[in-house]
Amino acid sequence: MKKSLIATCTIFSIVLQFAYSQDDKPYRNYSRMQKFNLVAGLDISKPFGSFSDTHSFGLGLNLGVNYRFNKLFSATGKIDFDYYFGKKYGSGYTGSETKYKGLSYLAVNPGIRFDIPATPIFINPEVGIGFSFYDSNSIFEWDSDIFIGYEFAAFRNHQMSMGLGYGCFMKDRSSSDFGFVRTTVDF
């Protein structure tokens, strides 16, 4: 887990360096000027804890909306689909291994976005519902995540952002935790 966290932070730092070196103009945020934005994004996630025993990593797509109240706060809504790849998990006592199948996960999350003044950084906590699809079963779960993002490029009234997040989905007092890197584009 430490290696993946270090790799994620290193990639994020490299992206931030390129973002700061793009031009000498002062920071301009086009998405903060608009009242309503559609958002599309990609996720790469890494399971933590016991979830990482059975699944290696996840890839996801998300679609969402942002409705701006003022310069600092927005209401958000997101539909997120992720697929977590299964892996072999062995028992130390019996010497046997089990191959876990992939897990599909669909989440619907409302949230609040806070834009830190005079910076391209924002924080976006969300809480909602999720559905896990594994084998032929589907399970209803609670879903939550927090995303800290950095808006690094603007072109033709579209804003790109990238950031790190932590999320979990919960059922019956147990949780499946994961960290993720997300890249989004506002329309």
pLDDT in tens, 125-158: 999 999 999 888 888 999 999 999 998 877 777 7
pTM (two decimals): 0.78
CATH number of the CATH domain containing 48: 2.40.160.20
The pLDDT value given to residue 137: 86
Res. 69: pLDDT tops 70: yes
pLDDT in tens, 18-54: 444 444 444 445 445 578 989 999 999 999 988 888 8
Please tell me the total count of domains within the chain. 1
Span 1-23, mean pLDDT?
A: 51
The pLDDT value given to residue 92: 60
What percent of the chain has pLDDT above 90? 49
Span 73-78, mean pLDDT?
A: 95
The pLDDT value given to residue 12: 53
pLDDT in tens, 88-126: 877 666 667 788 899 999 999 999 999 998 888 999 999
Chain position carrying tokens 């109240």:
69
More confident residue, 12 or 177: 177
Q: What is the bridge-based pairing of β-strands 158-171 and 121-134?
A: unpaired
Query: Amino acid identity of 117?
Result: P
The pLDDT value given to residue 135: 82
The pLDDT value given to residue 91: 65
Res. 2: pLDDT tops 70: no
Q: Comparing C-alpha atoms, which of 167, 182, 136 is closest to residue 47?
A: 167
Domain containing 13 equals 2-186
Burial annotation 110-144 (CB, 10 A radius, 16+ → b, else e): ebebebeeeebebebbbebebebebeeeeeebebb
The pLDDT value given to residue 106: 96
The pLDDT value given to residue 112: 97
